[in-house]
Structure 1
Amino acid sequence: MRAKAMPVFMLIAWAAIFAGSAESQQTAPPTHFARLIPSPEPGWPQWRGPRRDGISTETNLLSTWPEGGPHLLWKAEGLGYGYAAPIIVRDRIFLAGDAGPDLVVHALDLEGKAVWKATNGASWNGPYPGARAACAYADGSILHLNAHGRLACLDASTGRERWHVNILERFGGRNITWALSECLLVDGPRVMVTAGGERALMAALDLKNGRTLWTTPALLEAKMPGDSNPGEAATERAGYSSPVLFEMAGRRHLVNLSQTHGFGVDADTGKLLWSQPLPTRYKVLACTPAVYQDSVFLTGPDGRNIGLYRITAIGEDVSVAPRWPAKLDTCHGGVIVMGERLYGSWYRGRKGWACLDANTGEVIYQTSELTKGSALWADGRLYVLTEDGVMALVKPGPDAFEIVSRFPFAPKHKNDVWAHPVLLNGRLYLRQHQALFCYEVGKK
C-alpha cells in the first residue's frame, strides 16, 4: 500500500530545504559509500551488535518455530527494572537494571548464573523508571552511562570500578525529560559520549582514566515553527539516541541525534562536520541513525525534516542535503537497512511495520498485524519484538511481510517491552525488566 500524501507544512518545509541545497547537489562530486566500522571485540559487544546496525551474520538458524515459541534454555531473574538490552562477549553476558536506590550492572555466565554485580550510581525514579542504556565492552572493560550522567568504567572480570565521571557536571549539561539513555561507543582508546552541555555537545574520554581527549562545541537547540516560547534558544542537550561510527572518503565519522538536531563529528578530532535541525514536538530523537550508501537516515516521532540525508565532502568541508523525506517516524525501536530496503515500525504516523525503498523513501509494503517495537536481522529474517510482548519471526518478501512464527513472550497489558533483542551463537536473548530469557533458535 502506498503512503498517504504528506501534510502541506511538511511539503513546504522539505521544498525549502531542497531549494537551498539544489546547487550543491548538482555541483558536488560523487562520494564513496560509507563503511560502518565494527567493534574489534568478539560476540555482541555493544548496542545493536558489532556494527551497531542490528544485523547478525549468523546462519543455520531455525526457519520456523514450534507453536509456543522456540525452546527456552534458561531464565535469569532479579536483574532489576529497566529497558537495557544485554551485550555478550565470549562467556559473559552484561546488562544493567535498577534495584531500589541503585543502578546495578550484572555479569552472568552463558547459563544465566550470576558472576558479579556492581553499582553505577543512582537508579532513575522519574517518568518510566528503570535502567536505560546498554553496556559496551572494550579491552577488558565494561562502560556504562546511567540515567543521571554517571559514566563508569568497570573491570569486566570482577566488576571493580576503574574510574567514573559525571558528564553533566564536567561539560555543563542538564538532564533530559526521560533521562539520559545513550549506549556508549568505544573507538579504540576513546569512549564517545554525547554530553549536551555548554562546554561540549560531544566528547571523547580516555578509556584508561576518563580524561577528556577532545570536545565538540555546543549547539543551540532548534525550535518548532510556531513555538509558543520563541525566546532565545537554549544550549542543545543530549538526545535519547546512540551514535554510529563509519568511514567515508578517508574520514571517520560519528553521527548521532541530540534533542533537536542530527549531527556529524570527526571521530579523530571532535570537529563538528555538520548539523541538521530536526525539531520534534517533545524533543524526542531516540532512533539510532542508520547508514545507507553515502547517506544517513534520521527519524523521530512528530519530527520536522526527518528523512535520508546525503553526506558530501569537498576537501575539508562536509555537508548534508536531503535525499527524501521520511514517512517512517520510528521512535526508539531502531531501523534495519538490508540491501536497498529499510525496515522499521511506525510510532504515531501509522500502525505496524513497513518496508521502504531506501532509494526513494516510498513505502513498498506494510503490515498492521504486529505493533511497534524493535528488531534485528539474521539469516534472511527479521526477529521482531513488539512492545506488547509478541516475539515474531518475519520473512520480508518482494511484496509483503510473511509472519512465519510468533509467540507471546511477555504480558500484553504494559506495552513497555522495549529492550532490543540480541542473537548470538544460535541463542536469542529477550529481556523484560527483571528477567532475561534465553531461547535456542539455531538448528541442531
Structure 2
Amino acid sequence: MKRISFLLMFLISIVSYTQTDSGDLEVYLNNIISNMPGDSGNDYTIPSNANLTTWENCITSLLSGDLTTARTHADAVNYEIVLYTDTAFSPSINNYYVLKEKSSPTNYWGTYVFLQAAASNEMVIQAPHSDHDFNTGKQAIYSFVRLQNFALFLNGTHRCNHNQASTCSGTTSVCSGSSEAFKVSDLAHNTNSVFQKTTEVIYNTYSTSVFVQLHGFTKLASDPYVILSNGTDQTPSGTDYALELKNALSNEDATLTFQIAHIDNWTRLVGFTNTQGRYINQSANPCNLSATSSTGRFVHVEQEKSKLRQDATGWEKMHQALNTVFTGTVSVDDYVKIQFKTENPFQNSIEFSADGVKSFSLYSLVGKEIYSQMNTANISGFFINTSQLPHGIYLLKVTTDKGIANKKLIRE
C-alpha cells in the first residue's frame, strides 16, 4: 500500500522548542484521557465558526510543516503543540506532535497526535468515546504507539458531558436511559467540532488516508463479539477494509464472531449516523443525511468488552490485526536493509546500497520531491549529488520488492 510521507518541521536542536516533552507516550496520553471531564458539568465548549477556522488553519499549517504558524493558531484557542519524544521503545525512539489543550483547559475539544516522521501507513485511529466506551482510548493509544501510523484522535470529555443536543440526526439512550438526540459533546455525532474538522482536513489532504474508529458495546445474546461497518450498507468502491479487518481479527482470535453491515445486512450499531463516516463516504449533508455509497476509507468497529477491550491482551489482538491490514514500516525495516557509504549528517553526496530497489526519492522538509530515480538497470549501489542542497532535514524514501523504507537524513 502507498504510504504517506508526512513531513513536519524538525529542528536539529530541540532546545529551541518551548513546547517539548519526553518519556513514555502511552503513559502520557493515558494520563490525558484519565483526567477528562465526566458525563456532567457542561465542560465541553461549543466551538464558534471563528474557532473552527483557526483550528483548520492550525491543522493545515502543521501538515504542511509550518510549525511556527501552527503553534500561533493553536495558542489562539488555548491549545499547544508539544514535540514529544517517545523513549519507551528504545532504540526505536520516535518523535510526535501532540496537539493538546494547555494545562488550564477551557474547551475540551480532544487531543490529536501526529507522527513527526514519514508515517508507516495511511491510517488514522480515532477514539471518540474513550471515556464512555470502556478502554477504547487505551486500546487506540496502545495500537498507535506500536504501529507508528499517521495520526491518533482522542475525544476531550465524556460523550454526555454537555446538556445541549447536537443538531445532527440520530438518537441514543446512552445519556438518559431513554431515546433522545445526541449531545454536542458526542464527537462522533456532531459536525460542529474540531474532531470533525480535523477529519475533514486530513481526508481532503491525503487521498489514501483511512479512518478506523474504535467503539465498545454491551453484547446482547443475539449479538456477535464484533460489529464492523464502513458507515453504510453499501459495498465500498475501494478496498473493503472492514472485511480485511474482520479476517485479520479472526486470525488473532478464532473465538470471535462477527457481523458486517454491508455483507450480512446487519443494522444494529453500524455507525450510519456517525458524522465522520458520513463525510468520508461523501454524504451531501453529513449532519443529517446518511451516505448512500461508500469510499471504503472509514471503518466503524464495535467491540464487546471481554475479547478485545478488557486489557492489553485484547488490545494486542487489535494492534496485530491493524498491523496486518495496514502494514507498517517497523516490520518493513526488519527486512529492507539499507547500507550507507556516506555518514549522516551528510555533506556533498548520499551514497547507499540495497537489494531489490525499484526506485528511490529524496524529499525536502515540507515534502517537495528533490530527486527521484527508477532502478531500471537493477543495480544495488546508488549516488545522489547533494552539493547544491541547502542545510536542513531530508527524507530518503527507498521502494524495494520487499516494501518501502524511509530514512531521515541531515545535511550539515
TM value normalised by structure 1: 0.26
Mark the structure with the bigger radius of gyration. 2
Q: Which has the higher helix share?
A: 2
